[in-house]
């Protein structure tokens, strides 16, 4: 009965006919969460392309969430594989993903592992670019998106939560209901600690996060958008004060940037929208979807703008030229990376992308990216541009790490180190950001020296720190 109530609160969805091109895949792993796997792969998709995982809401199926939200349109237009996990009634009476159960929200087990295994299977089948894997979902699927971003930050480059909840907001049905309405108000540090605790030994980058919520949502209260922004800005090492405040198609839009100026979190408040994911039916360049219950026509296509945030369209402009081959790093310095690649017949120029953002448009087959941070890893792809300006398929990704380290040292008590953003506390204990090395109790009396060996990465250096 209570699980049914969770399903009702998370939304009852219609069930249109399954798309003919949607295919079920079996034998994708041990599948401990007992989920079904569906995927949509555009005809002739080359290897080295991105992958998007899209998670449906309660009582909905994979077939209810592919065309209706626009994701299949963008898979065809931008060239990526689309995986649509599907819950089963035997696991949850209303086919909700079990985002509030410890067995399903933890790394290496349950539904979270089943979804990760679907990513692995598709990568094996189609040669997915492992550096361009993304996850999104609506309502219960949005809450499960938070789970995947927190539990598998090494798998996903970006995430988008629509009408969902922060990670680890609840570990029981009753707590889940309270998180949905009225909501749970924690500090950014407390929310961020929950994410860091999901994979304590992890020291790499976390996924970027796009958050969407209706201002009139009474099922999952809008305060959850605020809490999600606080959680993921803290994880990204920045604050919850927007660096950009503008409107997109008339709706309030906020962007939060890290210390290197990268857009790491964004939010959209859809004025007047109740519980659901906004669509904008039509054939226009930014339009998508089919309006229905919990898929309201709000004249904005969420999947389009989410894809833009992830730089999916920038990586393939629809041109016919093939992906450049032979992309290699030829040199690095403390502040630059030099690249070269093989020429593509018919190319008038090339576009070079760093971490999904265009940074150059050389006419030849080499490029040097400058103004970079020392001791930092960047990802690069290249695409050819024909004489009409159409951008072809992107190359496989290469990574380059600039030379040098910052080696800045900071001595202070544990309280001050946390306050300065060089360490974080969990359950009264303090850990260095990046390395997660243990520093003792969260107090004013225990003092340590932290060395910043690369931007945002700190190690305990009590025995001495380079000048």
First to last CA, the chain: 64
C-alpha span between 300 and 286 (Å, rounded): 8
C-alpha span between 410 and 452 (Å, rounded): 8
Secondary element (H or E) of residue 179: helix 173-180
Asked if residues 135 and 209 have their Cβ atoms less than 8 Å apart, the reply is no
Residues paired with residue 460 on neighbouring β-strands, in sequence order: 450
Nearest to residue 194, comparing CAs of 228, 162, 225? 228
Whether 139 sits among the annotated catalytic residues: the reply is: yes
Asked if residues 177 and 239 have their Cβ atoms less than 8 Å apart, the reply is no
Strands 366-369 and 357-360, by their bridges, are: unpaired
Residues paired with residue 51 on neighbouring β-strands, in sequence order: 81, 133
C-alpha span between 367 and 338 (Å, rounded): 6
Annotated catalytic residue, options 95, 106, 114, 139: 139
Please report where in the chains the tokens 């958050």 appear, as a residue.
211
Q: Is the dihedral of CA 128, 134, 137, 140 positive or negative?
A: positive
Strands 158-162 and 133-138, by their bridges, are: parallel
Residues paired with residue 164 on neighbouring β-strands, in sequence order: none
**Taking the mean position of all CA atoms in its chain, how far away is CA 166?**
13
Asked if residues 303 and 71 have their Cβ atoms less than 8 Å apart, the reply is yes
Query: DSSP 3-state assignment of 124?
Result: helix
Q: What is the DSSP string of 330-391?
A: EEE-SS-EEEE----TT-SEEEEEETTEEEE--SSSEEEE-SPPTT-EEEEEEEEE-TT--E
Surface-to-core class of residue 363, CB atoms within 10 Å of its CB (0-12 exposed, 13-18 middle, 19+ buried): exposed
DSSP 436: -
**C-alpha to C-alpha distances, 456 to 126, 164, 375, 378, 405, nearest whole angstrom:** 34, 29, 11, 15, 11
C-alpha span between 183 and 169 (Å, rounded): 9
Nearest to residue 198, comparing CAs of 28, 436, 420, 415? 436
Asked if residues 167 and 184 have their Cβ atoms less than 8 Å apart, the reply is no
Question: And the tokens for 314?
Answer: 């920038």
Active site residues: 139
């Amino acid at each position: 009965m209570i699980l049914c109530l969770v399903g009702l609160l998370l939304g009852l969805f219609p069930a249109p006919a399954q798309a003919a091109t949607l295919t079920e895949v079996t034998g994708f792993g041990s599948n401990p969460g007992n989920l079904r796997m569906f995927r949509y792969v555009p005809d002739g998709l080359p290897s080295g392309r991105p992958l998007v995982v899209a998670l449906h809401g309660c009582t909905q199926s994979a077939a209810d969430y592919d065309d209706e939200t626009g994701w299949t349109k963008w898979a065809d237009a931008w060239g990526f594989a689309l995986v649509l996990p599907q819950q089963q009634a035997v696991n949850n009476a209303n086919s909700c993903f079990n985002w509030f159960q410890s067995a399903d929200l933890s790394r290496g087990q349950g539904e979270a592992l089943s979804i990760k295994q679907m990513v692995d299977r598709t990568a094996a089948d189609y040669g997915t670019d492992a550096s361009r894997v993304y996850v999104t979902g609506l309502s219960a699927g949005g809450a499960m998106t938070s789970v995947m971003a927190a539990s598998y930050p090494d798998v996903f480059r970006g995430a988008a939560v629509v009408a969902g909840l922060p990670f680890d907001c609840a570990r029981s049905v009753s707590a889940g209901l309270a998180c949905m309405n009225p909501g749970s108000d924690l500090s950014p540090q407390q929310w961020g600690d929950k994410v860091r605790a999901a994979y304590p030994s992890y020291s790499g980058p976390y996924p970027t996060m796009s958050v969407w919520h209706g201002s009139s949502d009474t099922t999952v209260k809008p305060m959850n958008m605020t809490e999600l922004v606080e959680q993921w800005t803290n994880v990204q090492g920045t604050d919850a004060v927007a660096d950009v405040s503008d409107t997109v198609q008339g709706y309030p839009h906020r962007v939060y940037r890290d210390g290197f100026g990268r857009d790491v979190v964004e939010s959209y408040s859809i004025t007047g929208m109740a519980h659901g994911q906004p669509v904008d039916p039509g054939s226009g360049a930014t339009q998508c979807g089919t309006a229905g219950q919990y898929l309201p026509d709000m004249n904005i296509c969420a999947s389009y703008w989410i894809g833009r945030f992830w730089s999916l369209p920038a990586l393939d402009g629809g041109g016919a030229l093939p992906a450049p081959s032979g992309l290699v790093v030829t040199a690095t310095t403390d502040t630059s990376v030099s690249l070269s690649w093989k020429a593509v017949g018919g190319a008038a120029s090339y576009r070079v992308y760093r971490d999904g953002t265009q940074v150059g448009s050389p006419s030849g087959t080499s490029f040097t990216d400058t103004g970079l941070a020392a001791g930092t890893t960047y990802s690069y792809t290249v695409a050819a541009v024909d004489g009409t300006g159409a951008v072809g398929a992107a190359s496989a990704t290469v990574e380059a790490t600039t030379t040098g380290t910052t080696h800045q040292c900071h001595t202070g008590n544990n309280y001050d180190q946390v306050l300065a953003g060089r360490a974080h506390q969990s359950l009264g204990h303090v850990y260095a950001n990046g390395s997660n090395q243990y520093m003792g109790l969260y107090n004013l009396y225990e003092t340590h020296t932290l060395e910043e060996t690369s931007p945002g990465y700190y190690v305990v250096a009590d025995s001495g720190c380079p000048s």
